[in-house]
Each structure stands twice: as C-alpha cells, then as structure tokens.
Structure 1
C-alpha cells in the first residue's frame, strides 16, 4: 500500500551570498518574484499537491521566513480601517493552518543531505517532498503535483529531472537511466556533480523530490561526499534496487532563482503571465529592445 504524501521539507538555511548586499539583512527566500517571495511559490506549489505539513530547515537570520506565514493582526486591522480589501485579499496567500508549519535549525552548513537529516523527527516513517525554493517552475500543472501523481502511480522515490548541457554535468546530480518511456525514466544510478567525461547521462535532478523515509537510514550515517558535505544524492543512490526509483520529465519551465540572470528572467516570465501586468510589461520590453 502506498502511503499518502502529506509532508514537505524546505531547506532554507543558505546564506544567499550570490545576492549580496540584498541578502545582508534578509533571507534570500524572501526576495520577491513580482509580488510574492520565493518561499511563497514553494508553499503554494506544495499545497496544490496536497501537502498539509511543512518543515523549514533554517539557519541564523532566517526568522523572517517563519514570521512571514504568521498572522499579521496589526497590519490586517490597519488595512480594514483604511478600507483596503484588495490588500487584505493579497495577505490570504500567506495564511497557514495553525500547527501546519514548523522550523528546525541547521547549526552547521554541512550540505543538503545534512539539512534533510535535521528534519528526521518531522519526517518519521512517512514519505515526504523536498522543495528547494531557489527553483520556481512556471507550468500548467504545479511541478510537485506532477511528482505526487507519479509517486502514487509508481510508489518509491520520484525526482524531477531535466536535460542539461553535457559540459554542465559537474553542477548537478546526474542520473544513470534504465527504461525510458519519454515521460518517466527508471533510475539505475546517481552521481553527484560528475565531470562531463564521466557523466552517465545529461539528465539532471532539479529541486523537487518525493522520497520515502528509508533515505533517513543512510543520511543518519552523516557520510561526507562531494565538497566534503553530506550529499542527499549519495543517500538516494544507496536506495536504488530496494525501492522503486524514477525520474519524471516534468511539464513546465524552470527558473534558477539562485542565479541573478535566472532570477531576472523569472520576474519577466511570471509578470507576462499575469493579466494585470502582462500588457504593460510587453510594452516596456518592446521599448528597451528597440533601443538596443
């Protein structure tokens, strides 16, 4: 029997050094794409996939991430007094069910695998999703919903995958693949950041995962891998052959918002999708393009 998927872990302990000085006094995940912070996109995507319980893996200076989802009584009262119904409606996107979100501190930056291990009490014996807020995906069906559907179809582990240039395989976790029907691929091996000459394919994992709790057994050993960090990819690789493991070629366009160019591209792409902003954005893009 396949257990229901109700939990999600969001690793948000990074320093955001690529966005200094903006991230000197604010969490990188609070940077807005149009008018919503990155963390909100991940939470919204997870809720659309049926996720009900959330765990943020935080670090020093990240308290704003939790506070963002708290109820802002004074702000709501002021908006009501000033008759600002549209602003009040905008706040509803950040409302969470009481007790649905917790945070755990990662005291040392020892890698993604270590961050997930920090959530071991939250995860327990349940399957769980992982969303890396740096990645936001513009799609008709939310990316994690696509993964959740694939999980309920196959059981075991499912990761979102995309093709990357062969010369960039040393930046990602890369799959060794078996059966491939064009949508779903059987994962027969995983390599963290291989050199292009050693890469078994050019299929890369992006920041969306659905994993069974079995991975925690391997993470608990806290074995160091690439970069002298505890790598989630290494722990997942040890599960191959014991549980079903698939990569899903998801529908949608991914934006790497941990990169300045990717972040700027996401601003434009998401703004163009909005009826209230799209026409104006097209106009100013046309203006600037004609000046080049």
Structure 2
C-alpha cells in the first residue's frame, strides 16, 4: 500500500430534497455559490491537495453533473471569438481530462458508507480521500491540503473535525478523544449522531476524510448503523477497535453546511463579501436591510 493520496471519492447520489423544487431538474451539486457550482469548490480543493483521479458516486438524474465537467467546444469557440479571455479561462478550468474522472452508480440510497464502498474497485489497495461537496470550507490553505500534509507525517485514517455546540452534537458523528495535540487528536472511539447529552466530546466529524483501504473490508459487512443506513463512521470506528490509528484533524478555516438552506445562504453572503468585485454593492445592500430592520423595531 502506498502512502501518497491521489484518488478522491465524491458521494453525490443524494436527491437534494431540502432544496426542492430547484433540485427537481438539476443536481444539488450544480447549484451555484456566487458564480461557481458547489462541486467546483470541492474539485478545486481536491486538486490543491494533489488529487489526480476523481471518482463520483452518482444516481439517476445526475447527467447535468457529468456534462458540467465535459468540454464545451461551441461555448469555448464563441468566447474566443468575442475576445472574452477571462471567461474562456474559467470555462476551461472546469474541464476534466479524459480518464481523470469516473462515475459509479449507487442504485440504492443505503448511506454514506455504502456510497464509499461502491467505489472500492476504482480505488484499489491505496489510501484515498472522501469529500462531501455539501461542506464548503473557506480557508487560506484548502482543508484537504492541510489534512494530506498531516497524513504524510501521521499515516492512518483521518477525519476533519470542528467544535460544535453541545445541543448540536446529535446531528454529527462525534469523536471520543484519547490524546489532544492541538490540530491533531488521536481517537479512541466515534459515535454517530449520539443521543442528546451522551456525546463523548463536542468535536464533530465533517465532510473530509483520508482513509486506508482496510475501510472497504470493514464496509463489506454492510452492517446497518444509525438511521438504518451503512455508516462510514462505524467502519472507521472498527479501525480503532482493531488497533489501527484514527485521527481527528482540527482544520483552519470556516465551514458552511450548504446541505441546508440557511448554511447555503450564509456561504453565499460570505463568499460574495470576499470578492472585490461584489463586496461594496453587497455590503451597502446589507447595511440598508439592517437599518430598515432596526427602524421597524
């Protein structure tokens, strides 16, 4: 087994029901955050971390996602003809080389663990990354790059982690910490969606994972966990039980849950305010809204 991580799995088979009716006709991952779809942020983060092969676990109705990464000769020719070099470059950056991207169907919605298991033959016997596009992380150094650098010094299963309020712990997989070394913690247990008040810590797992191929053997059992689904958290917890290292990595950055409407809107505002071409107009509008709201009170 090699230690360098060059493959990433993107589980994108979900129906996006929280964003209906918009997701009736377009995959949630194509929804735009300012002017780039959510999936593009995930791809850019993976590229920055050295990922060369991109594996999408999809389902029926995701054709638009596949088309997004394909070349668009007519559009590119038109942009070139009109001299729109910046836009042409942006469009070309969305193209994926032949052979760099693969699509696997998850025919039944059996959970995140099952989605990862579906990609086992394409990953083979090497460590790999898993990126959940719903989790958008604004960071000076991309989150997955931070983790890959930590993995090179501490090989083993690694999950991105962040502190959450105690009353929110039941919505996450929670780490039971053995040793805390600051950005890196060693883990002695993991609990998926613990009952309120029973969580072992307030350190939650979010959508970035670096995993060893042993995980696929654990997932082969297809044991149902929380919610009657095959949980990736359970397969990682089995690694701890069998004496192999599991780490939590406290990343530097701000995470937005774009799987929820509120988180998606917060990310939109935050990313727009970080753009010099949008900041002033948007900030002026937000001030007006706040002033109107305060006056109404």
Shorter-chain TM-score bucket reads over 0.9
Deviations 1:97-155 (A, max 9, x none): 22100000000000000000000111110100000000000011100001111111100
Runs of 4+, deviation exceeding 6 Å: none
Shift in Å, 1:93: 2.4
User: Aligned partners of 1:77 and 1:12: how far apart in 2?
Assistant: 30
* Residue 245 (str. 1) matches residue 225 (str. 2): no
Shift in Å, 1:156: 0.6
Q: What SS does structure 2 have at the residue aligned with 1:129?
A: strand
State TM-score, norm by structure 1: 0.97
User: Aligned partners of 1:239 and 1:115: how far apart in 2?
Assistant: 19
For residues 6-155 of structure 1, the aligned pairs below 5 Å read 6-155=6-155
User: Aligned partners of 2:191 and 2:198: how far apart in 1?
Assistant: 9
User: Aligned partners of 1:181 and 1:235: how far apart in 2?
Assistant: 24
User: Aligned partners of 2:285 and 2:74: how far apart in 1?
Assistant: 37
For residues 177-216 of structure 1, the aligned pairs below 5 Å read 177-216=177-216
For residues 216-255 of structure 1, the aligned pairs below 5 Å read 216-240=216-240, 241-255=242-256
User: Aligned partners of 1:117 and 1:108: how far apart in 2?
Assistant: 12
Which residue is 2:290 aligned to? 289
Which residue is 1:271 aligned to? 272
Q: Is the 8 A contact 1:184 1:249 kept in 2?
A: yes
Which residue is 2:259 aligned to? 258
- List gaps (5 residues or longer) in structure 1: none
Shift in Å, 1:244: 1.9
Shift in Å, 1:2: 5.7
Shift in Å, 1:237: 0.4
Shift in Å, 1:171: 0.8
Q: What SS does structure 2 have at the residue aligned with 1:94?
A: coil
The count of corresponding residues between Structure 1 and Structure 2 is 292
State TM-score, norm by structure 2: 0.96
Deviations 1:157-183 (A, max 9, x none): 111001111122221111100110221
Deviations 1:239-276 (A, max 9, x none): 01532211011000000001101000100111111122
Shift in Å, 1:196: 2.2
More deviation, 82-91/206-215: 82-91
More deviation, 174-183/107-116: 174-183
User: Aligned partners of 1:42 and 1:177: how far apart in 2?
Assistant: 28
Q: Is the 8 A contact 2:176 2:201 kept in 1?
A: yes
- List gaps (5 residues or longer) in structure 2: none
User: Aligned partners of 2:109 and 2:235: how far apart in 1?
Assistant: 17
